[in-house]
Structure 1
Amino acid sequence: MHNLLSNLRVDINSNLYLKDPESSSLGINIVKSSIDLIDLHGIEEFNFKKLAKEIGSTESSIYRYFENKHRLLLYISSLYWGIMEFQVVVQTSNMFDDMEKLLKALETLFSTPQTKCTSFQVEGQKLRHILNSEFVKAYHHKLVDEENEAGYFSIYKRLSSRLSGMIAAVNTNYRYSNSLSSLIIEGSLNQFFLSEHFHNLTDCHSKDNLYLFYKDLLTKTLTS
């Protein structure tokens, strides 16, 4: 798994950046340091002035890569979903039982992204924490339809479609595979967020609990 991911490059929509961050050490450092700062302070308190100070550069150099912090957040989100999609594909590639394959995908979605195997040598837990807290802000706004049309969420949607196909393979008569897929993917973030901030609103306070909850939901929904 590590060897397969060692040269992983996520194909992120080029409209999210002005210059490819992976094309230079500065660009890679911009993304890495952004993840550190957003994880620490949140997207509201994050800005390019703070980022420039962190990396010992100028705001203008950052603006050569990203138009604004919203596009940067979408880039980071795409990076996360691309890594998770690849991990799901690798972990399920040699599995033939449809239910076992679906449950392995489920388990993988609740794992930590292996970011250190990409150009961005950051802690996968930091990236997951950012998605838990900030991803909903990336698409709950007035321009989401335009951004969706531009393909900004293509990796996220592709992963959901892949999971939906696995659900349909388990039960071809189940009519809500897309809805169930999006519920699982959203839950892979939201349940962690609830556990951290609204403890009494969830029973899933660990990755194992979360997996068992969705395993129970899937098996009872698709095989009953």
Structure 2
Amino acid sequence: MENLQIHITINSGLYTKNPESSDLGKKIVHTSIEMINDLGFEAFTFRKLGVAIGSNESSIYRYFESKHALLVYLINWYWSWIEYKLVFATTNVVSAKDKLNNAITLLTQEVKEDNSFTFINEVLLNEIIISESTKAYYTKDIDEENEKGFYKTYKRVVQRVSDIVLELNPKFEFPHMLVSTVIEGAHHQRYFSKHLPALTDFKEGKNNIVRFYTDLVQKTIL
């Protein structure tokens, strides 16, 4: 997979100028991931980002109209990347059970950096998804943004895995609820394992989060 040249396509409504169209745009995205992960979304500002990249704050606004728009862009990029990995992991897999296991593993495992995308650190981006992504859609503008398709990639990932669930058990009543619960729950467990370990049974090297959700899904739908 590392040798494949994959292009992630993002909804053009999420940016003023495509950041992948220039070295500065890529630098903005790359550095913002590092800074949001380090500072937290609340403390992150375009002024601080401008200082970090040695550019005027106004140059960042040529790409993103606000830091909220930048965060939504990053979320979309992440879920588009996950979708491409999901397709790769399930295509030509005959058994529906094996496809579902592959999908659950992908959605719950520890993220590793993908060398196909040099300006994105997927490990740090995953940390942002876990700790900051709800700040993008727990807002008053969520319905309007949803209408514009800003969260289409995340919904598409859930739909793809839900389809596999129904392939395995066509009578299962709650595929979307199950899949979204697995995704969000796994994120919570990753967060708890680092900050509130008493709330989880995570153990280093035991792959407990993947094993737990794989077992949970199988027992729920079979």
Q: Please give the range of the TM-score, normalised by the shorter of the 2 chains.
A: over 0.9
Aligned-partner SS, 1:116: coil
- Specify the alignment match of 2:149 in structure 1: 151
| Paired residues for 1:71-86 under 5 Å | 71-86=69-84
Q: Are the equivalent residues in 1 in contact too, given 2:158–2:176 (CA < 8 A)? A: yes
* Equivalent-residue separation in structure 2 for 1:18 and 1:116 (angstroms): 27
TM-score of the superposed pair, with normalisation by structure 2: 0.94
- Specify the alignment match of 1:218 in structure 2: 217
| Greater CA drift, 63-72 or 136-145 | 136-145
Q: Which of 44, 61, 73 lines up with 1:63 in the alignment?
A: 61
* Equivalent-residue separation in structure 2 for 1:82 and 1:115 (angstroms): 13
| Paired residues for 1:142-181 under 5 Å | 142-181=140-179
TM-score of the superposed pair, with normalisation by structure 1: 0.93
For 1:14, the aligned partner's letter is S
Q: Tell me the number of residue pairs that the alignment of Structure 1 and Structure 2 aligns.
A: 220
Q: Are the equivalent residues in 1 in contact too, given 2:113–2:123 (CA < 8 A)? A: no
Q: Which structure 1 residue ranges, 5 or more long, are not aligned?
A: none
Q: In percent, how many aligned pairs have the same letter?
A: 42
For 1:67, the aligned partner's letter is E
Q: Are the equivalent residues in 1 in contact too, given 2:201–2:208 (CA < 8 A)? A: yes
Aligned-partner SS, 1:117: coil
For 2:160, the aligned partner's letter is R
- Specify the alignment match of 1:117 in structure 2: 116
For 2:217, the aligned partner's letter is L
- Specify the alignment match of 1:27 in structure 2: 25
* Equivalent-residue separation in structure 1 for 2:136 and 2:40 (angstroms): 13
Q: Which of 133, 137, 159 lines up with 1:135 in the alignment?
A: 133
Q: Are the equivalent residues in 1 in contact too, given 2:162–2:175 (CA < 8 A)? A: yes
For 1:202, the aligned partner's letter is T
For 1:137, the aligned partner's letter is K
Question: How much does 1:142 deviate?
Answer: 1.1
* Equivalent-residue separation in structure 2 for 1:111 and 1:199 (angstroms): 16
Which 4+ residue blocks in structure 1 deviate beyond 4 angstroms?
none
Q: Are the equivalent residues in 1 in contact too, given 2:30–2:121 (CA < 8 A)? A: no
Question: How much does 1:205 deviate?
Answer: 4.7
Question: How much does 1:187 deviate?
Answer: 2.1
Question: How much does 1:115 deviate?
Answer: 4.1
CA RMSD of aligned residues (A): 1.4
